[in-house]
Structure 1
Amino acid sequence: MKKIISILVIALTFTLTANAQKNMQQDAMIKDSTATIVSLEQTKGAFTQKTVTLKEGHYIFEIANNNVGHQVGFVLAPKANPEAHIKTAYVTKVVENNTKETSKVTTLKKGTYVYFCPMNPTPQYTLIVE
């Protein structure tokens, strides 16, 4: 019985290690790929870009705070479920007045998304991935 448990523990360890290595390799490939920077500007209560159209791929969102007067952020979500925030698209830290910050690499598939800032606050704008 101890031998069977030992074999199961070893097999589970190899499986977990292999999955962790695969995930790390996928993350490294995305980071090494050419992610396109999408620059968006916020002013008081609004984004200056009302609609964005992109192709499927990897993106980094750069958010500029143009004299809003306080910190801003960035939320991207599927249009069908605006509560399902895409966390990799969040800026890595809040955007101070008259500065810029970026998100992590975000992979977008075909579909319609919304973006907005609950801190500014702004309306929901449309981002289309073709």
Structure 2
Amino acid sequence: MKNLIVGLFLVAFTLTATAQEKMTKTDAVKTVSLEQTKGEFTQKKLTLKEGTYIFKVSNNNAAPEVGLVLIEAGKDGSKPENHIADAYVLQMVKHGKTESTKAVTLNKGTYKYFCPFNKTPEYTLTVK
């Protein structure tokens, strides 16, 4: 009987610890809001801490549909294989709408972000 009680306690403790670990990972995801107007992002430069982010992209009459491309600095943004695919919005952002990306884990370094549909310049995102 004593072994049964100890066993149940260990199972309950393990389930609680696992649930708390998942909550901590979920809580660690931060949101970055980006807005596009005609030909540009209103945020010209970003500095973030190393971590996991969801990008929310708003279309403020920039183009019928906009998106987001994120690449490591120094890579050719015209080549889709260089894009960080999780940083694509889940669906194209129409006028007056906001859409999100998947969670993207960013390590220390320099990245570039832009929109090929709204023909924005490449802006710098620095992760410290």
Asked if TM exceeds 0.5, the reply is yes
* Identical columns (%): 52
Following TM superposition, where does structure 1 have runs of at least 4 consecutive aligned residues deviating by more than 4 angstroms? 28-31
> After alignment, is 110-119 or 67-76 more displaced?
67-76
Give the C-alpha shift of residue 127 in structure 1: 0.2
Report whether the alignment pairs 1:43 with 2:37: yes
Provide TM-score, normalisation by structure 2.
Answer: 0.75
CA distance in 2, matches of 1:69, 1:85: 21
**Structure-to-structure mapping, 1:1-130, within 5 angstroms:** 32-83=26-77, 84-130=82-128
CA distance in 1, matches of 2:57, 2:125: 15
Provide TM-score, normalisation by structure 1.
Answer: 0.74
Aligned CA distance change for structure 1 residues 71 and 80 (closer, same or farther; 3 Å): same
| Number of matched pairs | 103
Task: Read off the aligned partner of 1:88 and give its amino acid letter.
Answer: D
Structure 1: gaps spanning 5 or more residues: 1-27
> After alignment, is 37-46 or 79-88 more displaced?
79-88
Structure 2: gaps spanning 5 or more residues: 1-21
Listed one character per residue, the Cα deviations across residues 37-77 of structure 1 (whole Å, up to 9, x for unaligned) are 00000000000000000000000000000012410000000
**C-alpha root-mean-square deviation of aligned residues, in Å?**
1.7
